[in-house]
Structure 1
């Protein structure tokens, strides 16, 4: 046993996050932790490492067990360079190496009666040092940096001078190099291209410890996870699904089908009980004994009938009350993205024209001679290595940047909806609804209903302060604003990042039904496989169509 959690509870004020969490992690297990945005997955990781304190419960590590934690945001002292950060991450391994050296020196001068004890201690430390890969550290550093696409980065470069993606990959590299017993990973593939993701999967499959990973990368979880654990947003407890993501998704689909069937069956039962109660009520009124004396026969039979009908009425009403006291909730409606126009069926109208566009940043060429004609209903997915200029191209199309040379022409009535990978965060004191409604026209009540009917948020969440919601919920907020904008051209920059699986699968289905053109950038292998459109590749500033 490497880690044992018992009866863990956590709440923020009146909001319950975790309830009676129980989990045991053994060596060799690779667990994917999933659940809706904001449900508390990252909170659980922070509790495990002691970054936050639980309200109740226990967290117990195995003897000598060491862990490594990758957060979604790498925070480092501004003065460190790459070499220093890597060295700082190996402190525990360095300490083991120092212990070996000290024990070796002691054994060289030890009395015979002390030697046996020193040899035993040396063997224990040497075993831990070998298990952590101490004898192959230099090789592993080179191997990990190359695998994560960082071998080109000078070791003396300041960490603060790296891009956001490079910082995240460097943090992951430092963690893998340290080779702890338990890896706790929060969205490790968000800034990795296909090659780096595939390399990481192979590395983790060979890891001799245990892994607990929060990820929205379905292909990654298919390759890495041996168990999926879902944090339920209603019970705030963990539910275990054996197997990888595909097995989990199949199980969830079956659960959803049962939910819909149970809901429809209950709705039929409610209607039948309502009709039965109405009919019984009418019969009670019809069989009510007259006030004059019509004779003994009527009263003796009529009163018995009325009593029976009244019992049936009460029975129907009580059954209806029991159901309505705790009804099966209606399954949420599928997401839908409706543009402000109906594109011409022949696709003849030109939506966008990019003519000889180049872009330089600090005299360094990023894009060169980009040409593209976009038609209605055309769908383009752009791939390329990190830093190749994909986001820059989307920023140019959106008008956030201006071309160094060339021009971009926009069709009439074009309205762009841009789902950014990195966006300006709303003011922390704003409510979720206030951040949602900025720039939108309409009455508050109608806008709130639209937000809730999208299935992205519940009524109880619309007044929460933006500063208290998770990164995933912020991304979901941007998705809600994209839907509300009724754009007729969608620009999507890594749209699957930070979206939970329930939202992600619906979003992909909504994109398939969207009537307008789409230009998307993605490293998500499952998203690319399911994207019904053209694949273009950006390399060395040039954009070329692959298929």
Structure 2
């Protein structure tokens, strides 16, 4: 069991986690969600002692072993695939060696040796020591690494292969508690489905930070959400769909409360204006009773004064703690009306060939986008999907083939990995090379709902991976493209941003080409699905 008690973490004046407490029992698979930058990765690094908490306590019952897959995998240069595997099995090898020693001592009649041997054999069995060769093959095949050369240097692998190798290594070590930070980012659909089945049978506790809704629905039985405003953690039973139903009801309540509060504010301001205006008017006396008239006038003025004071006090209370205004929906603007592209051939590539060394990645690929195209490209890791997008956007040059782009096309490209320089601030990079005043850019950036006023002066190196990607997305929105090319557009985004992005894409007036392994995104996207395999692009099954 993992036990977290009143964990707190701040960076300077910025609170990241506030009094976070939870327990993770054996058999519980929990999803950890929250907006980008709310501290999901920070929580994992404090559980694993990579970072220290400001206060609070993390503990496990019975000294249970914690295994952690970070979001950004780093591997030492020069290491081979096999050396990493042997590292994963180090505890088993040590147990094996000690058990051989104890067997010799048991034969000599040492009672203490027999007792220790019983403890070690229980641990050896729990780690899968008696069927480790089978387990190793099963995990490697499931991760799509079955054919990989074990002597190959790890730094020659693709990013996706490194992630899958790191995950395979972690699963082989058989930790009691698994912490997985965005484990699906570099998994193809076959590996995703294998991992879902594997986790369903896992006997320990698991916590997963993930943006993949279908993966969460298939695996988790509890949701922990880090609130981006209070920085506290909230617990919800069930999977992601169960959580979303609760949050959707809460969102509708907030919208209703905001609308009712705005109506009340308008009414209070009107009361203050009306009563104040009437107070300044003199009442005309209609009889000769001067005393009665004066008394009546004073009573009316006192009543008006009380009404104004009461309205002002209520107004001040509301303004001191207003209901948060609902965020404006994300929207891709394809420039002014009429700027959308209407060509039947917006972007076309024919016979594209690309080689790296002796390996042919793209072998005669043809693809065409018309004004209303919605295309998703899928395929296993390393098949050339990103290479194809980089060629289409002019980031790479093919070895052969032709590329045509319509003169009216303005492409917005979201790369798979962030390409923003770390030394700049959020605002400086957002406005770079674009005319306009600072206040205008601040307003535009904040109204996207992707950043708050507190974020705009931060340096980019202080942002999470998800926040960097949100900045790239905000820049694309601001540039008003009429063609969108998106490489794994759900990677590193929090779930609320993904759902906003899906809605914005549905309303976009232009062609969209996306590479994705996110099954829920592909379903909602609703376009044609093409598969890149063995250097060829083929239309998928309907």
TM-score class, shorter-chain normalisation, is over 0.9
- Give the 5 Å matches for 1:349-368: 349-368=344-363
DSSP 3-state at the match of 2:280:
helix
Distance in 2 (alpha carbons) for counterparts of 1:288 and 1:71: 77
Distance in 2 (alpha carbons) for counterparts of 1:506 and 1:228: 20
Q: CA deviation at 1:208?
A: 0.4
1:336-381 CA distances to partner (integer Å, 9 max, x unpaired)?
A: 0011365799955421221222222224221122223321021111
- Give the 5 Å matches for 1:161-180: 161-180=156-175
**8 Å Cα contact 2:334-2:340 kept in structure 1:** no
| Corresponding residue to 1:145 among 140, 162, 172 | 140
- Give the 5 Å matches for 1:111-150: 111=110, 115=111, 117-150=112-145
Q: CA deviation at 1:64?
A: 2.9
5-14 vs 532-541, which deviates more? Answer: 532-541
Distance in 2 (alpha carbons) for counterparts of 1:504 and 1:321: 37
Determine the structure 1 residue equivalent to 2:40: 41
| Corresponding residue to 2:298 among 303, 323, 330 | 303
Determine the structure 2 residue equivalent to 1:460: 454
Provide closer, same or farther for how the CA distance between residues 287 and 224 of structure 1 changes in structure 2, counting only shifts above 3 A: farther
Provide closer, same or farther for how the CA distance between residues 412 and 296 of structure 1 changes in structure 2, counting only shifts above 3 A: same
| Corresponding residue to 1:503 among 477, 497, 506 | 497
Q: Is residue 264 of structure 2 the alignment partner of residue 256 of structure 1?
A: no
**8 Å Cα contact 1:381-1:521 kept in structure 2:** yes
| Corresponding residue to 1:382 among 374, 377, 386 | 377
Determine the structure 2 residue equivalent to 1:534: 528
Provide closer, same or farther for how the CA distance between residues 306 and 358 of structure 1 changes in structure 2, counting only shifts above 3 A: same
Distance in 2 (alpha carbons) for counterparts of 1:83 and 1:154: 9
| Corresponding residue to 1:236 among 207, 215, 231 | 231
**8 Å Cα contact 1:287-1:305 kept in structure 2:** no
- Give the 5 Å matches for 1:473-492: 473-492=467-486
Q: CA deviation at 1:459?
A: 1.0
Distance in 2 (alpha carbons) for counterparts of 1:376 and 1:336: 18
Distance in 2 (alpha carbons) for counterparts of 1:100 and 1:284: 95
Q: Is residue 423 of structure 2 the alignment partner of residue 429 of structure 1?
A: yes
Distance in 2 (alpha carbons) for counterparts of 1:51 and 1:41: 14
Q: CA deviation at 1:286?
A: 2.7
Q: CA deviation at 1:308?
A: 1.6
Q: CA deviation at 1:121?
A: 2.7
Determine the structure 1 residue equivalent to 2:538: 544
**8 Å Cα contact 1:343-1:515 kept in structure 2:** no
Determine the structure 2 residue equivalent to 1:212: 207
Q: CA deviation at 1:12?
A: 0.5
- Give the 5 Å matches for 1:48-67: 48-67=47-66
Q: CA deviation at 1:90?
A: 2.1
**Pairwise CA RMSD of aligned residues?**
1.8
TM-score by length of 2: 0.96
Distance in 2 (alpha carbons) for counterparts of 1:142 and 1:363: 29
1:425-473 CA distances to partner (integer Å, 9 max, x unpaired)?
A: 31x3311111212233322221211111100001111001111110110
| Corresponding residue to 1:338 among 333, 336, 349 | 333
Counting matched residue pairs gives: 539
Distance in 2 (alpha carbons) for counterparts of 1:364 and 1:75: 25
**8 Å Cα contact 1:37-1:473 kept in structure 2:** yes
Distance in 2 (alpha carbons) for counterparts of 1:461 and 1:324: 24
Provide closer, same or farther for how the CA distance between residues 363 and 342 of structure 1 changes in structure 2, counting only shifts above 3 A: farther
Distance in 1 (alpha carbons) for counterparts of 2:435 and 2:363: 39
- Give the 5 Å matches for 1:71-150: 71-111=70-110, 115=111, 117-150=112-145
Unaligned residue ranges in structure 1 (runs of 5+): none
Distance in 2 (alpha carbons) for counterparts of 1:345 and 1:500: 29
**8 Å Cα contact 1:168-1:191 kept in structure 2:** yes
Q: Is residue 309 of structure 2 the alignment partner of residue 314 of structure 1?
A: yes
| Corresponding residue to 2:510 among 505, 512, 516 | 516
DSSP 3-state at the match of 1:429:
coil
DSSP 3-state at the match of 2:63:
coil
Distance in 1 (alpha carbons) for counterparts of 2:341 and 2:474: 30
Distance in 2 (alpha carbons) for counterparts of 1:288 and 1:41: 66
Distance in 2 (alpha carbons) for counterparts of 1:341 and 1:381: 27
Distance in 1 (alpha carbons) for counterparts of 2:149 and 2:41: 32
Distance in 1 (alpha carbons) for counterparts of 2:521 and 2:342: 24
**8 Å Cα contact 1:343-1:516 kept in structure 2:** no
**8 Å Cα contact 1:288-1:306 kept in structure 2:** no
Provide closer, same or farther for how the CA distance between residues 287 and 51 of structure 1 changes in structure 2, counting only shifts above 3 A: farther
Distance in 2 (alpha carbons) for counterparts of 1:450 and 1:110: 80
Distance in 2 (alpha carbons) for counterparts of 1:356 and 1:75: 36
35-44 vs 280-289, which deviates more? Answer: 280-289
TM-score by length of 1: 0.95
Unaligned residue ranges in structure 2 (runs of 5+): none
Q: CA deviation at 1:486?
A: 1.0
1:263-284 CA distances to partner (integer Å, 9 max, x unpaired)?
A: 1111111111111222222232
DSSP 3-state at the match of 2:208:
strand
268-277 vs 147-156, which deviates more? Answer: 268-277
Q: CA deviation at 1:14?
A: 0.7
